[in-house]
Amino acid sequence: MRQPFFDRLSEQAFKQPEKIAIEDRQHRISYAELLQRLADHRQQLAELGVEPGQRVLVWAQKSSSTAVWLLALISFGAVPAPAHPALKPHQVRRLAHTIDASWLLLDSAHLPHFQATENTPSAEFFLCTPNGDKLSALGMLSTAPGNNQPVCHDPELKEAIIFFTSGSTGGPKGVCVSTDNLLVGIEQVSAYLGLTDQDIIAGILPLAFDYGFSQLTTALYNGAQIYFDDYLLPADLKRPLLEKRATVLAATPGLLVPLALQRWLPEAESLRLVCHSGGHLPVKTVRALRAGRPDVDLYLMYGLTEAFRASYLPPDEVDEHPESAGYPLPGTTLGVIDEHGVLLQAGEVGQIIQGGPLVSMGYVNDPKATRERFIRAPKNWPGGDEQTVVCTGDLGHFDTQGRIYIHGRIDEQLKIGGVRVSPEEIEQAAVGFDQVTEAAAVSQPIEGGEQLVLHIAPIIDDINKLRHYLREQLAPFQQPARIVAHEQLPRSANNKFDRQKLRQPDSN
């Protein structure tokens, strides 16, 4: 029988109460202290009127304290929805509206961007309604006797957490992850990575992404330690890898491409494995990582927010098959279908679909998008065609040994530096600038990944003014690397932007 996450966490705390569970540059939290904080936080949530089953949008920097609040909400039975800390206030309000959030949990760094703080008490975190009412300071220990608000085990509460992703034809969608989804993912990743209580996991990725949040849950499930730090330049990894002696690094292509070129990488003697997901990792980078650290296991993985993880390639096959994303996880079924939904054979290219226990509950408050993306399994699907499978939107094929190979996106959704970016949101922001009448955002390949290029029309007086405007409207990861102005944008026969032509170098 599957052991609930918080029962497992309690066991780890009983076995090693003084061991550090979560650390960042300011805080170190032991397993015993973590359990106490979770109980304190649950007590505060109850006192302030939060109820199990309610959705809470969390807008905060990645930190030990943010991680504890996310865990506290889940253990209380509320449903956290972490938003990327670099989003703008109006984007956060829109996300809260999208998922019908009952509450907004903010850290002190984000509170001033949301409302005036002249008479606000000093605190690290705050809770309020999405419109700013009922503002309460959090973070202090509850005065209620006992501080023993229990972990919620209500079987009727299926939702565990909501992760936001961008659709190809619209803004971000909230993907509802169930308690079972979360636990199966933790168990499977822990098993194939071989995580133990001796590991120190480098928490570099944002907690707002399922991939980043997974570093937290898998660490605690196995009695390991997670160290949170931020990444801007390759040298920023010296602290977690050299000083903190991390043994596990989970990364995206935007992090691994420059890391593979660092001469100091062999000095990270404690590093035992690197796992990759979030986009195509160039074979050149795979070869460089293997040559620079042949003693480190490299796991090439594939997944999507709607189903967390789909496959991984065992390290002993990476040298021979560096282009592959590996084999389906245990219990997970992958297939490739044509445009008519018919299953294809090995070697044939089509859309990848996924079935199994990691397929999420669908999109929050968006039944139309859920019906389009989460479909009935095709004829001859292993295990029967009554199952629900998710359409990944990725093109791929299988080889005769069952390894999957990814060919790219079917739709126009962009993935820049491992982060999914909605072109429509960027285009709408650009058209909001008074001199721009039409805009098309596309990705173009560069060494080690993709860059975001924004094409606009007509030609405007000052591109820098547009850049300044976009910095006010969009998050940093949504900013175009290049802006190209045209008299008019090229269009296809059906009067849509000719994005294929815009991706060509001569369009710049």
pLDDT of residue 140: 58
In the numeric block, which tokens belong to residue 502? Answer: 């815009």
Written as one string, the DSSP assignment of 60-121 is --SSHHHHHHHHHHHHHT-EEEEEPTTS-HHHHHHHHHHTT-SEEEEETTTHHHHS--TTPP
Amino acid at position 375, single letter: I
> In the listed set 140, 165, 193, which residue is the last one of a domain according to the structure?
140
Determine if the peptide bond prior to 423 is cis (ω within 30°): no
Please give the C-alpha separations between residue 401 and each of 135, 355, 356, in angstroms, as whole numbers. 57, 19, 20
- Residue 407: is it exposed, middle or buried by C-beta count within 10 angstroms (0-12/13-18/19+)? middle
- Choosing from 82, 105, 140, the residue where a domain stops is 140
Output the domain CATH number for residue 471. Answer: 3.30.300.30
Q: Residue 31: is it exposed, middle or buried by C-beta count within 10 angstroms (0-12/13-18/19+)?
A: buried
Alpha-carbon dihedral sign for residues 65, 107, 182, 191: negative
Per-residue pLDDT at 147: 59
What pLDDT shows up at residue 261? 86
Task: For residue 386, give both structure tokens.
Answer: 């009554």
What's the structural domain count of the chain? Answer: 2
Q: Is residue 194 part of a domain?
A: no
Sign of the torsion formed by the C-alpha atoms of 231, 236, 240 and 241: positive
Q: Fill in the amino acid letter for 300.
A: L
CATH code assigned at 53:
3.40.50.980
Using only the alpha carbons of the chain, give its radius of gyration. 23
253-287 b/e (C-beta count within 10 Å ≥ 16 → b): bbbbbbbbebeebeebeebbbbbbbbbbbbeebbe
Predicted local distance difference test score (pLDDT) of residue 129: 93
Question: What CA–CA distance (Å, rounded) separates 105 from 83?
Answer: 10
Residue 412: predicted pLDDT: 62
The phi-psi region of residue 449 (left if phi > 0; otherwise alpha if psi is between -120 and 50; otherwise beta) is left
In a domain, 432, yes or no: yes
Q: Is residue 27 part of a domain?
A: yes
Residue 325 domain flag:
no
DSSP characters over 392-428 = EEEEEEE-TTS-EEEEEESSS-EEETTEEE-HHHHHH
Residue 203 within a domain: no
Q: Is residue 277 part of a domain?
A: no
Domain boundary among 108, 140, 172: 140
Distance CA 179, CA 2 (A): 11
**Counting beta carbons within 10 angstroms of the beta carbon of residue 216, is it exposed (0 to 12), middle (13 to 18) or buried (19 or more)?**
buried
Domain assignment of residue 22, yes or no: yes
Residue ranges for the chain with pLDDT beneath 50: 143, 167-169, 493-495
**Which long-range contacts (C-beta less than 8 Å, at least 24 apart) are formed by 119-127?**
124/65, 125/60, 125/65, 125/69, 127/45, 127/48, 127/50, 127/103
Q: Per-residue DSSP letters for 226-282?
A: EEE---SSGGGGHIIIIIS--SEEEE-HHHHHHHTT-TTGGG-TT--EEEE-SSPPP
- Residue 306 backbone phi and psi in degrees, to 5: -70, -15
Domain span at residue 41 reads 1-140
Whole-number Å distance between alpha carbons of 124 and 142 = 15
Cβ-proximal residues to 427 (8 Å cutoff; 6+ apart), any chain: 439, 440, 441, 454
- What is the per-residue DSSP string for 336-369? EE-TTSPBPPTT--EEEEEESTT----BTT-HHH
Residues belonging to the chain: 508
What is the Cα–Cα distance from 225 to 246, expressed in whole angstroms? 9
Give the tokens for residue 456.
Answer: 């606009």
165 part of a folded domain: no
Nearest to 452 by CA among 503, 492, 410, 406: 503
The pTM of this model reads: 0.84
The percent of residues above 70 in pLDDT, for the chain, comes to: 93
Q: What pLDDT shows up at residue 167?
A: 44
